[in-house]
Structure 1
Amino acid sequence: MSRDRYVDFLRAWAILLVVLGHWLITGLVRRPDGTLAAPEMLLALPWTQWLTLGFQIMPLFFLAGGHAAGGSWARSRDAGGTAAGWVGQRAARLLLPTAVYSGLVLLAVGVCGPLGVDPATLALVGWAMAMQFWFLPVYLLLSALTPTLYALHARWGLRVPVVMGVAGFGVGVLVAAAGPARSGLVEAVGAVNYLLVWGVVYQLGFCWRDGLLTGRGRRTPAALALGGGAVFAALVGPGPFPVGLILVTGQDLSNTDPPSAALLAWAVAQVGVALWIAPAVRGALERDRAQRAVRVLGAGSMTLYLWHMLPVLIVAAAFYLTGLAPEPRYGSAGWWALRVPWLLVLGTVLAGVVRALRPLERRLVSVERAVRPDAGLRGAAAWRMWAGLGVSVCALTYFAGHGFAHGGTFPVPAALGLGTGTALLALRRRGGDLHDVDGVHDAEGAEGGEALGGDERADLGDERGGPGDDGESHRVV
Structure 2
Amino acid sequence: MVDTGLVRRVETGTAAGRDRAVDGLRAVAILGVVLGHWLVTAMVATGDGVSVASPLTYLGGMTWVSWVFQTLAVFFLVGGRAAALGYRRPYRTWLAGRLRRLFRPVVVLLAAWGVLTAGLLLAGAGGRTVHTVLTLVLSPLWFLLVFAGLTALTPLATRLHPAWPLLVVVAVDAIRLGFDGPAALVWVNIAAGWLVPFTLGARFFHRRYGWALLAGGAVATVALVRWGGYPASMVGVPGEFSNLNPPTLAAVTFGLAQCGAALLLHGPFDRLLRRSPRAWTTVAVVNLFAMTVFLWHQTAMLTVTGLTLLTAGPLPGLHTVPATPGWLAARLVWLPLFATALAGCWALFHRAELARQAARPGLASSGDRDRAGRVAS
Which residue number in structure 2 is paired with residue 198 of structure 1? 194
Q: TM-score, normalised by structure 1?
A: 0.68
Distance 2:314 2:249 in 1: 42
2:35 equivalent to 1:12: no
Letter in 2 for 1:101: L
What SS does the corresponding residue of 2:236 show, helix, strand or coil?
coil
Pairwise CA distance, 1:314: 1.8
Pairwise CA distance, 1:7: 0.2
Which residue number in structure 2 is paired with residue 56 of structure 1? 70
Q: 1:125-160: per-residue Cα shift (whole Å, max 9, x none)?
A: 11111121110111111111112333x24xxxxxx1
Distance 1:343 1:279 in 2: 31
Distance 1:121 1:229 in 2: 39
Pairwise CA distance, 1:169: 1.9
Pairwise CA distance, 1:109: 1.9
Which residue number in structure 2 is paired with residue 173 of structure 1? 174
What SS does the corresponding residue of 1:29 show, helix, strand or coil?
strand
Which residue number in structure 2 is paired with residue 275 of structure 1? 263
Q: TM-score, normalised by structure 2?
A: 0.85
2:236 equivalent to 1:247: yes
Which residue number in structure 1 is paired with residue 83 of structure 2? 69
Are 1:223 and 1:272, in contact at CA under 8 Å, matched by a contact in 2? yes
Q: 1:389-419: per-residue Cα shift (whole Å, max 9, x none)?
A: xxxxxxxxxxxxxxxxxxxxxxxxxxxxxxx
Aligned residues: 352
What SS does the corresponding residue of 1:38 show, helix, strand or coil?
strand
Distance 1:258 1:356 in 2: 33
Distance 2:108 2:310 in 1: 28
Residues 191, 37 of structure 1: alpha-carbon distance in 2 compared, 3 angstrom cutoff: closer
Pairwise CA distance, 1:442: 5.4
Q: 1:364-404: per-residue Cα shift (whole Å, max 9, x none)?
A: 632899xxxxxxxxxxxxxxxxxxxxxxxxxxxxxxxxxxx
Letter in 1 for 2:234: L
Query: Which of 348, 356, 370 is matched with 1:366 structurally?
Result: 356
Which residue number in structure 2 is paired with residue 99 of structure 1? 107
Distance 1:295 1:267 in 2: 25
Pairwise CA distance, 1:27: 2.4
Query: 5+ unaligned residues in a row in structure 2: which ranges?
Result: 1-15, 360-365
Which residue number in structure 2 is paired with residue 188 of structure 1? 184
Distance 1:52 1:88 in 2: 34
Are 2:190 and 2:247, in contact at CA under 8 Å, matched by a contact in 1? yes
- Aligned-residue RMSD, C-alpha: 2.6
Which residue number in structure 1 is paired with residue 244 of structure 2? 256
What SS does the corresponding residue of 2:118 show, helix, strand or coil?
helix
What SS does the corresponding residue of 1:237 show, helix, strand or coil?
helix
Which residue number in structure 1 is paired with residue 138 of structure 2? 130
Distance 1:342 1:136 in 2: 28
Are 1:92 and 1:368, in contact at CA under 8 Å, matched by a contact in 2? no
Are 2:84 and 2:154, in contact at CA under 8 Å, matched by a contact in 1? yes
Distance 2:268 2:151 in 1: 30
Residues 442, 187 of structure 1: alpha-carbon distance in 2 compared, 3 angstrom cutoff: farther
Distance 1:227 1:301 in 2: 30
Query: 5+ unaligned residues in a row in structure 1: which ranges?
Result: 154-159, 370-439, 460-477
Which residue number in structure 2 is paired with residue 339 of structure 1? 331
Distance 1:111 1:227 in 2: 51
Q: 1:155-207: per-residue Cα shift (whole Å, max 9, x none)?
A: xxxxx1122212222222222213xxx35xx2222321111111111111112
Q: 1:318-357: per-residue Cα shift (whole Å, max 9, x none)?
A: 2123235643763334322212221011111211221233
Which residue number in structure 1 is paired with residue 295 of structure 2? 306
Are 1:168 and 1:261, in contact at CA under 8 Å, matched by a contact in 2? yes
Mapping of 1:291-440 within 5 angstroms? Answer: 291-323=280-312, 326-327=315-316, 330-358=322-350, 360-361=351-352, 365-366=355-356
